[in-house]
Amino acid sequence: MPMAERALPAPFRRAPGAAVALVVLVAIFAASSGGRFLSVGNLVSLSSQVALLLLVALPMTFVVLTEGLDLSVGALMGLAGVVAATAMLGGWGVPGALLAALGTGLVLGAVNGALIAWGGMPAFVVTLGTMGLAEGLALAVTDGEPVSGFGDAPRLAWQAMIGPVPLPVAVAAALYALLHLLLYRTPFGAHVVAVGGNREALRLAGIRGRAVHAAVYVLSASCAALAAFLLVGRTNAAHPTVALGVEFDAIVAVVLGGTSFERGQGWLFGTVLGAAAIGVLRNGLNVLAVDPSLQVVAVGLLAILALVAGNRRGGRART
């Protein structure tokens, strides 16, 4: 695992809260659930839930590394899902639907990227705007009704197993490998780190720096569109607002994992830990049937305590 990345001095010294939180949570839930938490069935559904979050959170790590964030991914997942389902109903087949969803992601990501990298506009505001556009389009096209009746292919994809590994987990693992290479072994990755590390350098870097800056938003949106396709399989329907709020879980996973909103410091594997911590917390609270109102408090406490414990570095959200 990426313990000795060149760009990232001694990541464990920063002790991402996620790693601590994860170990503690797993121990608590495993001890008190009478074997249910660690049952095969639960691990399959838990890992699939985490995988879906990772498809959004891994590329979000790139975005946060550039001192940005992407609030539009949740709304985009709703829109891309509706597009994919409509394409399948229109006889485009699964590959066509996948391409249509990816195309939706590419367009929205390009809009985000262009406005942020070339327009010099703040990512928070731009993606808040495109979030409204995507949510509104998805709602208006469907009149709020879920789209369904497109056959079994997406559902079978979500439930498929590759050996002992659920397909969504395999997809997330492949994406991790790909993004790991991209971030740590290519000039693109070095540029991403540089973009966040030094805004002034970015401004002077010209076209290439801006293209890299824009590309992280295209990456984020494309991965969200891919996740949308799996989500359509999970629910066997495309609901226009199904994923609203996912963007916050993804950002929390990234920052829990030790990636900083400033100074271009980050750790891709930390995001895996962060997403796992969020997934384990929510799943564990459900498996133990904790009082619903206390679950809400627990999510907030995890976010803050893990940060206080692990990420005691200075900083404000400069987005």
Chain residues 242-281 in contact with another protein, contact rule CB under 8 A: 242-243, 245-246, 248, 251-252, 255, 260-261
Q: How far apart are CA 35 and CA 63, in angstroms?
A: 38
Stretch that binds another protein, among 7-15, 135-143, 165-173, 207-215 (CB under 8 A): 135-143
66: amino acid identity, one letter? T
Stretch that binds another protein, among 166-174, 180-188, 270-278, 298-306 (CB under 8 A): 298-306
Cβ proximity to another protein: between 29 and 269 the closer is 29
Which residue from 8, 23, 11 is spatially nearest to 257, judged by alpha carbons? 11
Residue indicated by tokens 């699964």: 94
CA 53 from centre of chain: 5
Cα atoms in the 13 Å half-sphere on the side-chain side of 207: 0
Q: Does 297 bind another protein (CB under 8 A)?
A: yes
Q: Does 161 bind another protein (CB under 8 A)?
A: no
Q: Does 164 bind another protein (CB under 8 A)?
A: no
Cβ proximity to another protein: between 5 and 249 the closer is 249
Q: Does 39 bind another protein (CB under 8 A)?
A: yes
282: amino acid identity, one letter? R
Q: How far is the CB of 185 from another protein (least distance, A)?
A: 29
In angstroms, the Cα distances linking 111 to 53, 118, 136, 207, 217 are 23, 10, 16, 17, 9
- Considering only residues 114 to 133 of the shown chain, the ones binding another protein according to CB under 8 A are 115, 119-122, 124-126, 128-133
Please identify which residue in 188, 197, 241, 263 interacts with another protein, judged by CB under 8 A: 241
- Contacts (Cβ under 8 Å, ≥6 apart) of 195: 65, 66, 67, 202, 205, 209, 212, 213, 264
Please identify which residue in 37, 150, 176, 229 interacts with another protein, judged by CB under 8 A: 37
Q: Does 83 bind another protein (CB under 8 A)?
A: no
Stretch that binds another protein, among 55-63, 94-102, 136-144, 168-176 (CB under 8 A): 136-144
Angle of helix 73-89 relative to helix 123-142, nearest 10 degrees, comes to 30
Q: How far apart are CA 161 and CA 153, in angstroms?
A: 14
Please identify which residue in 22, 58, 237, 253 interacts with another protein, judged by CB under 8 A: 237
Please identify which residue in 140, 160, 178, 201 interacts with another protein, judged by CB under 8 A: 140
* DSSP E strand boundaries for 171-276: none
Say how many residues touch another protein, by CB under 8 A. Answer: 85
Q: Does 229 bind another protein (CB under 8 A)?
A: no
25: amino acid identity, one letter? L
Angle of helix 93-113 relative to helix 73-89, nearest 10 degrees, comes to 150
Q: Does 186 bind another protein (CB under 8 A)?
A: no
